Amino acid sequence: MANKEQPDKWTILTILTWTESYFKSRTIDSPRLTAEMLLAHNLAIKRLDLYLQYDRPLEKQELESFKSLIKRRVQSEPVAYITGQKGFFESDFEVTPDVLIPRPDTECIVEEAIKALDDNVFSGEPKNVIELGTGSGAIAVSLAKARPGHRYAASDISLGALLVAQKNANKISETKIDFCVGNWFSCFAKQAQFSLIVSNPPYIPSGDIGTLQPEIQLFEPMLALDGGQDGLDCYRIILNDAHNYLVPGGTLLLEIGYDQRFGIREIVQGLSNSFNYQAPEFVKDLAGHNRVAIVKKSID
Ligand code: GLN
């Protein structure tokens, strides 16, 4: 890449231009933006500052380390794992390979959770809110930041993920979140009652994992993606238990895959007496896909 005889010829602007066209030739998504994010990370400056210093020559050392970041991206590693950061719902979250990278689609469940918390039915007192399978903490932390004054807890089966979530909570939310290691509800007290339960569980059918792009398949935690044979395994477990933990009139919000609406309906209908759940409602994301299932527990 760099011309060893003339290392000084590389300035921020010329290396950005070179990297953009290299990424383009390797069919990397958003080549300019990717080049900017990696270079800003490499130089430990903000993206916009690249353009305030566009004429600054790169040191040999900086060029070497940038080269290794370019290589990682070309080998399919997602930008978020390379920089260790991902923007989600107005905050910057730390991410590591222990956690799924927060997706823009997932902002939809945060918005629905905020609506549920603001719902008049429960107006007034602080509510008990939990997230199941919190990963990086993106949902719970965004919610605690947007609606402080409620009581928040979140579980994950992966200790590595919870360490990341705790760091994000400390940095982003002033409202405390109690994190616990456990499989879905297992770390919550049997008698505990919650007004709101949210989850974005693994929901990719096992047979589809092999068709995912290499960025996901090679780098993201399978534990957070593989939803069993039909992708619905985790919903079965959660719906089987959630009614025990929901206050009457409480809400369960589940992120779902674009084609899982009928699957969710069937699971609820198949439960004895539907376990007091009302018929699920569905919310579409910005792309027009069904993305969130709202399952309420009846008042009586
Ligand atoms: N939406 C994610 C994806 O398409 C999957 C998230 C999940 O399984 N919870 O990769």
Atom of ligand 1 nearest to the CA of 231: 8
In this prediction, residue 1 carries a pLDDT of 52
CA of 216 to the centre of ligand 1 (A): 9
Structural contact between residues 204 and 212, judged by C-beta atoms closer than 8 angstroms: yes
> Residue whose CA is closest, atom 5 of ligand 1?
225
pLDDT value, residue 124: 72
C-alpha–C-alpha distance, residues 276 and 262, integer Å = 19
pLDDT at 8: 58
Residue 81: name the closest of 205, 203, 209, 214 by CA: 214
- Compute the distance from residue 203 Cα to the ligand 1 centre, in Å: 6
Mean pLDDT in runs of 10 for the chain (300 residues)? 56 97 97 98 97 95 97 98 97 98 97 91 81 98 96 98 98 97 97 97 97 97 97 98 96 97 97 92 95 94
Pocket test for ligand 1, best of 200, 217, 253 (most atoms within 8 A of CB): 200
Task: Decide: 168 and 141 in contact? Cβ < 8 Å.
Answer: yes
Indicate the top mutation candidate among 100, 101, 232 to test ligand 1's pocket, ranked by most ligand atoms within 8 A of CB.
100
Ligand 1 — pocket residues by CB below 6 A?
A: 103, 105, 200-204, 216, 225
Among 232, 239, 233, smallest CA distance to 263 is for 232
Q: Give distance in angstroms: CA of 65 to centre of ligand 1.
A: 31
Q: What pLDDT does 81 receive?
A: 98
Contact 252, 242 (CB under 8 A): yes
Residue with tokens 């792309």: 287
The pLDDT value recorded for residue 170 is: 98
Give the Å distances, CA to CA, from 220 to 135, 202, 217: 11, 12, 6
